[in-house]
Structure 1
Amino acid sequence: MATASDAPVLDTIAAMTIDSLERCGMDDGTLILTRIAALVAMDAPAISYLAHVDPALKARLTGEQLQDVLVAIAPVVGTARVMLAAGHIAEAFGFAIALADSEAELIAQAEARSRRKA
């Protein structure tokens, strides 16, 4: 029987991801690059790449490594799909930067309010 949740789809995806990570022997960087290649192959939207921005940063992946993956898979998945993916990846990083900026602004506002009270 399923358990009640406010976000059952996200909870399911998170559980699948955790299970996959536990069963996979790849290092973090290779795992993320492999997943990005799979996203390109299936023509995933930008939001799918967004879930991989933080893990990619934590794995210390570089822009060159992401480009290398796109170059490596282009002959298999096609140039049009790779170009779309590059745009989706850029969009995902843009979302991540905007979220980080918003979060930083909220923190700065909270700190300013805290200083005024003190």
Structure 2
Amino acid sequence: MATESNTPVLDTIAAMTLDSVERCHMEPRSVILARIAALVAMDAPAISYLAHIDPAVKAEFTVEQLQDLLVAIAPVVGTARVMSAASHITQAFGVALALADAEAEAIAQQEARSRSTS
């Protein structure tokens, strides 16, 4: 049975991304490197990067590794794509933080209501 969510499309895309990472025979960090490089190469929008934040965190992918990746692929994809990717990645992190804040607020409100009715 499907669970209710305020972000069903994003949740589905994130689940698909996580599932493909788990089914791939590469190390999770290598998969994230390959995926982010592909996103940069195709000038993907911020929402595409957003779907990769959770798998990147789970793979212990660091900001320094992301920067190294962008430096490594800049001569191939070009500076315009790398700068666009940096902007989109920043936007994706902003959305992820806003979603996390909204979820935390909803949980806090639910707990407060639960305490007040007890």
TM-score, normalization by structure 1: 0.82
In structure 2, what residue type is equivalent to 1:50? Answer: L
Q: Based on CA coordinates, which of the two structures has the bigger radius of gyration? A: 1
Q: Which runs of 5+ in 2 are unaligned?
A: 1-7
Quick one: distance in 1 between partners of 2:55 and 2:74?
A: 23
What's the CA shift for 1:19?
Answer: 5.5
Quick one: distance in 1 between partners of 2:21 and 2:103?
A: 30
Aligned residues: 108
Quick one: distance in 2 between partners of 1:112 and 1:19?
A: 38
Matching residue of 2:32: 32
RMSD: 2.3
User: Which structure 2 residues correspond to residues 1-118 of structure 1 after superposition, within 5 A?
Assistant: 14=16, 18=19, 21-22=22-23, 24-118=24-118
2:44–2:85: 8 Å Cα contact kept in structure 1? yes
Deviations 1:49-88 (A, max 9, x none): 0110110111111100000000000000000110000000
In structure 2, what residue type is equivalent to 1:87? Answer: S
Percent sequence identity over aligned pairs: 65
In structure 2, what residue type is equivalent to 1:94? Answer: G
In structure 2, what residue type is equivalent to 1:35? Answer: R
Change (3 A) 1:19 1:93: closer
